[in-house]
Amino acid sequence: MPASPDPHEPTPDGTDRLLLHEAADDLREAHAAHEGRESRERHDDVVVLDDRSGALVLGVLAGLEERAPESSGPTPVPAPRVRSAQDRVTSERSLQAALADAGACDRVTVHAGLGPDLLRDARVVLLRLPKSLDALEETAQAVARWAPDDVVVYAGAPVKHMTRTMNEVLLRSFGEVHATLGRHKARALVARRPLDAARTTEPTFPRTARLDELDLTVVAHGGVFAGTRLDIGTRTLLGVLDQAAPEARDAVDLGCGTGVLATVLARSRPGLRVVASDQSAAAVASTLATAGANGVGDRVTGLRDDALSTLPDASADLVVCNPPFHEGTTLETDAAHRMFAAAARVLRPGGELWTVYNSHLRHKSALGRVVGPTTMVLQNPKFTVTRSVRPDGA
């Protein structure tokens, strides 16, 4: 009788199962190569990117364990290992929890960013296709630049989220790209043969642009909301930001994106210290680059975090927030409400939360309930800006 599934082990979704099925032969070949090596060094030539729950990494580890070479001689062959990187801190924490439950923490190295340490010697790369084409292009450029010539990339997603343009993006960095058959309502794009040009030309990310209306340079990694553009919600909040908590000493840009709000605050208020926080590593890196490009890098601190979980209570006088109104393709108000609760916790008594949101979402009642008395500062058919004050004794 087969063993019962571990109730604590994350369940692979259709995309995870497709990737594990399609990559099985290449995973086998990658680790069969170690049988003939004289070296008994640890081998970790499989890379997994943006695993949301840990299910994909655990599936790869299970497959590699089945295919690992038998040990012979006085020195045992080390257990196969995997390298991994996640953009979202929530995904990274889910992976770490899954590895701890499985007793596999020592078999996965978690990296920050798409650099050579992550991708050097990688023979197989598995990833979930991001919805952002810029994020896919930055990933493709990094793999083609740093991985060996024989690397194989498996990039999967639900069929309903895939477009032909994704193939075109991969073909800018790889000589061969094809799509697999559908399975579990998902498909994968398989990319091989990194182009010589991808190795010798400078990456196009992060991108830099000048926002003349703000006299500001913005820097953006792939996948960060709005890229190098000024999104209209941020523009709306900037129009009234000079009214926000004029005596503030410590401010937080919650969901910082490319750091436009954090940078404008720091530049316009020389005595202000700003913590710019986002779940996304790409967003935090973009914010720090934007702040540095505008001469305020010494007063803007980047924090990759989920809902300010590592910031102390009552540590800020001002929080500014342009919460996401969608998560991928799904309207999302729960994320905004979690951000409001985080702001309430870190605000000092009398501190202010300034929020811009799509007017149809009607967040004002939630802000009043979670943060404190809330007034409408500005409203038009598209956006609303509110000011919420944290009451004494809250």
Between residues 40 and 30, the one the model is more confident about: 30
Can you tell me the mean pLDDT for 335-358? 97
CA 322 to chain centre: 17
Which residues lie below 8 Å from residue 283, measured CB to CB, with a gap of 6+?
Answer: 221, 224, 225, 256, 257, 258, 259
Global confidence as pTM: 0.92
Q: Is the peptide bond before 76 cis (omega within 30 degrees of 0)?
A: no
- End-to-end Cα spacing for the chain: 56
What pLDDT, on a 0 to 100 scale, did the predictor assign at position 2?
42
> What's the CA gap between 83 and 100, in Å, rounded?
16
Can you tell me the mean pLDDT for 179-184? 96
> What's the CA gap between 248 and 273, in Å, rounded?
9
Between residues 2 and 189, the one the model is more confident about: 189
The tokens for 24 are 């099985």
Can you tell me the mean pLDDT for 276-301? 98
For residue 319, what are the β-bridge partners? 252, 353
What pLDDT, on a 0 to 100 scale, did the predictor assign at position 80?
73
Confidence band (pLDDT; 50, 70, 90) for 63? confident
What pLDDT, on a 0 to 100 scale, did the predictor assign at position 6?
58
> What's the CA gap between 242 and 264, in Å, rounded?
10
Confidence band (pLDDT; 50, 70, 90) for 327? very low
Percent of the chain with pLDDT over 90: 83
Q: Per residue, what are the HEC states of 191-205?
A: EEEECHHHHHCCCCC
* Lowest-confidence pick of 98-102, 125-129, 155-159, 333-337: 333-337
What pLDDT, on a 0 to 100 scale, did the predictor assign at position 28?
82
Can you tell me the mean pLDDT for 11-27? 95
The tokens for 252 are 């937080």
Among 259, 220, 262, CA closest to 241: 262
- Confidence check: pLDDT of 329 > 90: no
What pLDDT, on a 0 to 100 scale, did the predictor assign at position 32?
65
Confidence band (pLDDT; 50, 70, 90) for 67? low
- Confidence check: pLDDT of 112 > 60: yes
> What's the CA gap between 48 and 34, in Å, rounded?
20
Query: What fold is seen in the domain 14-200?
Result: Rossmann fold (3.40.50)
> What's the CA gap between 154 and 215, in Å, rounded?
42
Confidence band (pLDDT; 50, 70, 90) for 8? low
> What's the CA gap between 253 and 256, in Å, rounded?
5
CATH placement of domain 207-389: 3.40.50.150
Q: Calculate the CA dihedral of residues 33, 61, 26, 116 and round it to 10 degrees.
A: -80
Q: Do domains 14-200 and 207-389 have the same CATH topology?
A: yes
> What's the CA gap between 160 and 204, in Å, rounded?
28
- Contact predicate 279/304, CB 8 Å: yes
What pLDDT, on a 0 to 100 scale, did the predictor assign at position 1?
39
Placement of tokens 């800020």 in the chain? 316
- Confidence check: pLDDT of 56 > 70: yes
Confidence band (pLDDT; 50, 70, 90) for 33? low
What pLDDT, on a 0 to 100 scale, did the predictor assign at position 328?
38
Mean of pLDDT over the chain: 92
Placement of tokens 């979202």 in the chain? 88
- Domain ranges within the chain, ordered by starting residue: 14-200, 207-389
- Confidence check: pLDDT of 166 > 50: yes
- Confidence check: pLDDT of 159 > 80: yes
- Contact predicate 264/238, CB 8 Å: yes
